[in-house]
Structure 1
């Protein structure tokens, strides 16, 4: 039986065992979600919504890849990488239109850059593992 902490009902529950990259994206999404709530209305329901959707799609692609065999992972890792690249561009537009301040943009973009590197490393590893040995 799980004991629940009165101040937060899930405090005593152990965190799920995520892949490091998935844990990073999840944590970054939570940061984004706080920023998303305070976006100007003009972008909250357009660009902000698209960015939010991209985050969810990235989480989904990485989650799916984590359960597949090594030979099946590559398309999902590449999909997540493409979505991360799109996310970078859309966040830049959000910042250039002054809908997000410098501090928030830097906080998001630095972490997105790291996530992109992690996905790139995973992609390289999968390509190597799935290459025929000569």
Structure 2
């Protein structure tokens, strides 16, 4: 139910926003997200069947949602983009939590979890930098 409310609020924001022309290339953070998702798919295949369709599906859904929101954000003007990036960062934190839960339940080996965590941290830094840059661009310079 909360996820449905999240999607409804995003839908309202998108409907009330004028989209700009597409960016020239895929932002580096989206390329990193795709790369991390491909890595996740390899890990997901090794989950036991019961966990693959429970916790594994939840993690998979969060990855796809982050990719979708990031792609959408790349087309938005500055103000809605800043809001969207905040939501993406929240989703990323939830993804980190569920990844840790999978590791704690021995569904992801230690070395693979370290690799996945490093990738997610890098994505977080990139998204945070993107958001910070937009906030600085939006705010007037202080004299």
With the length of structure 2 as denominator, give the TM-score of the two structures.
0.78
CA RMSD, 1 decimal: 1.5
Q: Which has the higher contact order (CA 8 A, sep 6+)?
A: 2
Number of aligned residues: 119
Q: 1:50 aligned to 2:58?
A: yes
Aligned to 1:9: none
| Gapped regions of structure 1 (runs ≥ 5) | 1-15
Aligned to 1:95: 103
Residues 61-100 of structure 1: pairs in structure 2 closer than 5 A: 61-100=69-108
Tell me the SS of whatever aligns to 2:74: helix
Q: 1:117 aligned to 2:125?
A: yes
In 1, Cα distance between the equivalents of 2:51 and 2:113?
Answer: 15
Write out the 4+ residue segments of structure 1 that deviate beyond 6 Å after TM superposition: none
| Gapped regions of structure 2 (runs ≥ 5) | 1-23
In 1, Cα distance between the equivalents of 2:25 and 2:48?
Answer: 36
Q: Deviations over 1:14-65 (max 9, x none)?
A: xx93100000000110110111111112311111100000000100111011
